[in-house]
Chain A
Amino acid sequence: MNIFNVIQEIEKVDPEVFDRLDARRSVFKHFAGFSKKLVATAVPLAFGSFLNKAYAQTGSNSAIVEVLNYALTLEYLEAEFYKQAATASAAVGAPAAAQGALALIRDHEVAHVAFLRQAITSLQGTPVMFTAASFDFTAGGAFADVFTNYGTMLAVAQAFEDTGVRAYKGQAGNLVANNTILQAALQIHSVEARHAAHIRRMRRDTPTIMASVKPWITGKDRGGLPAATQPIYDGEELTTQATVNIIMNAGGININADSASEAFDEPLTKTQVLAIVDPFIR
């Protein structure tokens, strides 16, 4: 078997094969190294595994980069929002603690942007780029006073955080090919959930808002947010997980539908999330 003839045959159907092999020089070297130890009959199998590395890595990398760019888009949305929110927080009457919380969340979202950009670059991807001008945080006027009314500001913040949690959750399965990235995404995901919990607490505890919300999502209740935000909460009312009915009495403790839905957050697909955030992107 002449391996270069085989590669030339592949080139007829995949003109980029040499680029792929060249980009995977280490794999190529690896193959050259162990080929000497192989008996000839083992070569077809080894060659298959070699091609798998050349293709699977670029293939899964590009899929992972796509997910990360989607996450990066959402992080830009949040980072640019909190930059303006933190700046405006004193003027809208946010207490000192709330101003600190908004600044802390801003710092986290800015760090997520930098982290994801670095991760994408390290996978030979090209990170997307957004600026403040890319976004319309009034969502075409639906939240016209987003940076002049504390209640509206926190409503939009809650919408973004609860969406972010569901968005990351929906992508975990698409990152399994890269454990480092999967874990990092989970580590961002839980920080978004911490943010969501605190923003909800802020909405509950602010005398001028006094929203009837808990740090967790009850049923598909949007906690006083405008009806337009309902898609952020639809599906959260699930009370059955992997065929297990969570509504139950467990040793005298009654798990009702509210508790059962609160105990599990639900994922959203990329399509669902992009439809939710679309009004905020110019």
Chain B
Amino acid sequence: MAENLEPTPVDETSNRINTPFNRRNFLKYTGLTMAATAIVLTGCDDDDDDTTPMAEGSVNLGTGDVGILNYAYALEQLEAAFYTQVVANAAFSTAFPSALERSILTDIRNHEVAHREFFKAAIPAASRIPDLTPDFSAVNFSSRASVLATAKTFEDLGVAAYNGAGKLFTDTGNGLTYLTLAGKIVSVEARHAAEIRDLISNGDFAKGDSGIIAGRQIVDTNGLDVALMPLEVLQRAQPFIKQTIVATGLPTQ
């Protein structure tokens, strides 16, 4: 192998690499290469190609970390709009005669509105997706069963979305901050999901069909919750959103 590498290039770099090592220089050398790699990756994420013209009625989530934040913002908009309508509906008290259940749904509404407003404030206005128009035509807001079934889909899907998106943030700087924030939200979504499932059938908080992947239990035999990639999530959420969500710019790994 050494023979293959001859002749020795005489340049500054090879002079440096032939000088005796000490641990600090060695770490500096490998560290330097890693830093350079990070800059290249950051450069990719700054690619701002979300200004491509889009079709009328479609919303492009964009790219990089901000694209993932927009993705979360889209899902939170959907959830917030749903629970707002649940609680505001004239039939709320008749659909949910239990004061405890009404207070639970009102709490969840508040949490989802808080999440939506958080993303709205945290994403720079220039990169932020607009307000989405929900389509809840499939939901009967006067029916406890219909409301809870829809809520179950949204909550389990929300958990799966955050679980699948965590790895898509960049691994340094802001990406780490966003990962932590997503972590703060996902466990609250999971608490919602458990409670909604229990409202449908007490004891189903972490068992039974996932309802979002055919044949997949909500908690599998390894004790793991569902995780889905953005395209899989949006495919399931799209029927509830009037605009077409374009997620092709999002990171895929």
Contact = CB atoms under 8 A, between A and B. Distances in A.
Nearest to A100: B203
B188 A216 contact: yes
Interface string A91-111: 000000100110011011111
Contacts of A13: 21-23, 26
State which size class the interface on A falls in.
Answer: 35 or more
Interface residues of B, number: 79
Nearest to B11: A41
B194 A44 contact: no
B224 A197 contact: no
Contacts of A22: none
B203 A40 contact: no
B107 A191 contact: no
Contact of A194 (B1, B20, B225): B225
Contact of A190 (B29, B115, B118, B187): B187
A274 to B, nearest CB: 19
A169 B164 contact: no
A201 B107 CA distance: 15
Contact of A43 (B9, B20, B26, B226): B9
Given A193-B191, A196-B191, A262 B162 contact: no
Nearest to B3: A2
A201 B26 CA distance: 56
B187 A47 contact: no
Interface stretch (A127-135, A137-145, A264-272): A264-272
Interface of A: 1-6, 9-10, 12-14, 32, 35-36, 40-41, 43-45, 47-49, 51-52, 55-56, 97, 100-101, 104-105, 107-112, 114-115, 165, 168-169, 172-173, 176-177, 179, 182-184, 186-198, 201, 214-216, 241-242, 244, 246, 248, 250, 253, 255, 259-260, 262-267
10 contacts: A2-B8, A43-B9, A176-B176, A191-B206, A193-B188, A195-B206, A214-B104, A215-B191, A215-B195, A263-B185
Interface of B: 1-2, 4-9, 11, 13-14, 17-18, 20-23, 26, 29-30, 32-34, 84, 104, 107, 109-111, 113-118, 121-122, 159, 162-164, 166-167, 169, 171, 175-177, 179-181, 183-195, 198, 202-203, 205-207, 219, 221-227, 253
